[in-house]
Amino acid sequence: MNSSAFSELGRRTIDPPISWLMKTALERPELISLAAGFTDDLSLPVRETRTLLNQILSSAKTAQKTLQYGATAGDAVLRRLTVERLIEQDVGALERGLYSADNLLITHGSQQLLYLITECLCDPGDIVLVEDPTYFVYLSIIQSRGLRGRGLTLARDGIDLEHLESVLESLKREGELKRVKMLYLVTYFQNPSGVTTSLAKKAAALKLLRRYEKDAGHPIYLVEDAAYRDLRFAGGDVPSALAVSGHQDRVIYAGTYSKPFATGIRVGYGWMPSPVYEVAVRVKGNHDFGTSNLLQQVLVQALSSGLYHKHLAILQRRYQKKARVMTQALRENFPGAVEWQEPGGGLYVWARLPQKHKSGRKSGLFRDALKMDVLYVPGELCYADDPTRLPPNREMRLSFGNASEANIREGIARLGKVLRALGI
């Protein structure tokens, strides 16, 4: 046969690294996985969710409605409550009217929102600007959809703006600006590096993108992925890019209830300017014509009863504790030459080996760590396939989300032994 039953996308899509990492962890139950982006099992709100479900299904007002299809854009009350939370979080820096629930779309996890937005804005061959490193599952979307990623150097407070400008300039010179559709930033306790982007950087990036729009011939959107915003356990909150005055028409804000409540509930959301919103709702109509009503109702009840906030406070303390366990173990077991930062939120510590040492899937470190039954995410997976630079291969993403405190201690101690045995 000389033609394929599969679409170009079907033929192009490679097995995402996330599948391989999950498979490895599942096949080897003895493995201490510091790789998974899973959340903490012990603090999942099992009892609370059972009570909420009972309430929802016992009330004549909600029972049938909940087990029926809902609207494509999502439940009206959940959309309103979500926008009210955004207003609460961005307080002091916003123009209230701009946060209308009319522009808020509820999705099946923020992952669906990211996919949907990319699908709505980008054609194969288009360019997405991303942080170096970035959320590796988003890189799989780029790969699958035939897009090109361009990596931007990441500093302590977000992307290097000079680098952003020089990338935009070189794309302009190459006549490629029209292919640039969006800048994707994970702005709070970034996965994988832990970096939080300052408001000043968000504002400057928006200004810069707008300067290049004339040459691009279309808007260039900033997609702000705020997946870890609620999982903050140190320092103050930073307003979102939506709070940057005069640029809300270029911001797409992706949030989630999954990490800060229950990952199994998989409800996320996105706020976006009207032209993008209208297209995204149409396309979501083709995906699934609406996120599960039952799961949305759980969140409506959790948010309106105050349970969500109560649970979040518990989670924040839990992750603070687990982060401390990991950083204490790192101090005790890792050679001083390995660099890492104290996390202020999120689920990860990003550790960097000295020059010349490697952490990738083919490295001695990764192989020996697996022999010692420890799995981490090799940093190389978090870099876009960008032909203009060599991706670094000496970092490890270490998650304190899912592993127990004892396993965090043990996993880091074993990794420390492997590092020392390799002469680091």
Ligand X SMILES: Cc1ncc(COP(=O)(O)O)c(C=O)c1O
Closest CA to 318 of 207, 232, 217: 232
Q: Which of residues 322 and 409 has its CB atom nearest to ligand X in the complex?
A: 322
Distance CA(15)–CA(12), nearest Å, equals: 10
Q: Which of 149, 194, 268, 401 binds ligand X (CB under 6 A)?
A: 268
Q: Does 109 bind ligand X (CB under 6 A)?
A: yes
Element (H, E) at 349: strand 348-352
Q: Rounded to the nearest whole angstrom, what is the least distance from the CB of residue 36 to ligand X in the complex? A: 9
Question: Applying CB under 6 A, which of residues 33, 39, 103, 110 lies at the interface with ligand X?
Answer: 110
Q: Which of 90, 126, 225, 395 binds ligand X (CB under 6 A)?
A: 225
Among 147, 167, 183, 186, binds ligand X (CB under 6 A): 186
Say whether residue 348 binds ligand X (CB under 6 A).
no
Considering the rule CB under 6 A, would residue 33 count as an interface residue with ligand X?
Answer: no
Q: Are strands 221-225 and 180-186 parallel, antiparallel or unpaired?
A: parallel
Does 151 contact ligand X by CB under 6 A? no
d(CA 83, CA 99): 6
**Residue 174 burial (CB < 10 Å; 0-12/13-18/19+)?**
exposed
Site for ligand X in 114-143 (CB under 6 A): 135
State the nearest-atom distance from the C-beta of 108 to ligand X, in Å. Answer: 8
Nearest residue to ligand X, using CB?
109
**Which residues on adjacent β-strands are paired with residue 378?**
396
374-375/32-33 β-pairing: parallel
CB 339 within 8 A of CB 393: no
Question: Could you tell me the strand order of the sheet in which 267-271 lies?
Answer: 104-108, 267-271, 251-256, 221-225, 180-186, 127-132, 148-155, 158-159
CA–CA separation, 395 and 361 (whole Å): 11
Stretch that binds ligand X, among 20-28, 152-160, 237-245, 260-268 (CB under 6 A): 260-268
Q: Quick one: which segment of 41-49, 51-59, 200-208, 255-263 binds ligand X (CB under 6 A)? A: 255-263
Cα dihedral sign, 95-98-100-105: negative
Name which of 344, 347, 375 is nearest 361 in CA terms. Answer: 375
Q: For residues 138 and 115, give the distance between their C-alpha atoms in angstroms, rounded to a whole number.
A: 8
Q: Closer to ligand X at the Cβ: 291 or 333?
A: 291
Selected from 180, 227, 241, 382, the binder of ligand X by CB under 6 A is 227
37 binds ligand X per the rule CB under 6 A: yes
Stretch (H or E) spanning 315: helix 307-333
In this chain, which stretch among 21-29, 108-116, 306-314, 375-383 interacts with ligand X, using CB under 6 A? 108-116
Residue 39 lies near ligand X (rule: CB under 6 A) = no
In the complex, least distance from residue 169 CB atom to ligand X, rounded to whole angstroms: 28
46-58 vs 307-333: helix axis angle to the nearest 10? 160
Place of tokens 């090109």: 148
Q: Which of 66, 256, 297, 327 touches ligand X by CB under 6 A?
A: 256
Report, in Å, the least distance between residue 25 CB and ligand X: 15
> Under a CB-based contact definition with an 8 Å cutoff, are residues 338 and 310 in contact?
no
Give 325's contacts (C-beta < 8 A, 6+ positions apart). Answer: 400, 405, 408, 409
From candidates 72, 258, 320, 363, binder to ligand X by CB under 6 A: 258
CB of 41 to ligand X, least distance (A): 16
Mask of contacts with ligand X, 304-343, x by CB under 6 A?
Answer: ----------------------------------------
According to the binding rule CB under 6 A, does residue 111 interact with ligand X? yes
Name the residues that contact ligand X, by CB under 6 A: 37, 109-111, 135, 186, 191, 225, 227, 256, 258, 263, 266, 268
